[in-house]
Structure 1
Amino acid sequence: MLSRVTPKSPEECMEMPDVRAGVDAIDTAIMDLLAQRFAYMEAAARIKSDRDAVRDERRKKEVIDNALSRASELGVPASLVAELWDRLVEASIAYEFDRWDELNANG
């Protein structure tokens, strides 16, 4: 059985393999979080009784604004976060529409 080794912090990295191990660990965590996020989109599709409720521009703006606020706190470039979160939210909405349609295909 393979165990997950906690990577070194960026400050502890002295060689590129250490940096790459840290990036790989973060990429794995991001993928795990994306899977969880899309599970919530599946739940939203199941809960919403009206297809028109899937797209909520007010909520989209709120999600992106929250991400931009957090990015500012962490020193992450706002332009990058704005683009990534817009794409993430749009992909989430598209997924939710697909799931809503599948769940409601029979009436």
Structure 2
Amino acid sequence: MTDILAPEDCTTMIEVRAGVDALDEQIVTLLGRRMRYMDAAARIKTTRGAVRDEARKAQVIDNAAAVAARVGVPPALVRALYEQLVEGSIAYEFDKFDAR
């Protein structure tokens, strides 16, 4: 199956799964791009203490939750996902900063 159907057009689980798999590939690709921004941040920041920024972390999570609410995704789910994503990004950035 090469054509990915819109969710509302799916009539079989094969079609649903194909759509989910295609979206997951796009999501992971975007996460890779996001991590390259963490590479840039680690390169640009001048002190290790600047890597963790709790105010920015809260802003990122709040922004994502607001987008979720706007597009009909449960904000609590997005908050939980972004908590993990941002913490993982911070750990990654620390590793990159320390490796410079």
Do they fold alike, i.e. is TM over 0.5? yes
- Residue 59 of structure 1 aligns with which residue? 56
- Residue 75 of structure 1 aligns with which residue? 72
Q: Output the CA distance in 2 between the equivalents of 1:80 and 1:68.
A: 8
**Superposition deviation, residue 79 in structure 1:** 1.4
- The structure having more radius of gyration, on CA atoms, is 1
TM, length-normalised to structure 2:
0.95
TM, length-normalised to structure 1:
0.89
Name the count of aligned residue pairs: 100
**Superposition deviation, residue 78 in structure 1:** 1.6
Q: Report the structure, 1 or 2, having the larger helix content.
A: 2
Gaps of 5+ in 2: none
Q: Output the CA distance in 1 between the equivalents of 2:14 and 2:65.
A: 31
- Residue 101 of structure 1 aligns with which residue? 98
Pairing partner for 2:28 from 26, 31, 34: 31
% same residue? 56
**Aligned alpha-carbon RMSD (Å):** 1.2
Q: Output the CA distance in 1 between the equivalents of 2:93 and 2:3.
A: 34
* Structure 1 residue identity aligned to 2:64: A
**Superposition deviation, residue 6 in structure 1:** 4.4
- Residue 39 of structure 2 aligns with which residue? 42
Tell me if 1:19 matches 2:2.
no
Gaps of 5+ in 1: none
Tell me if 1:92 matches 2:89.
yes
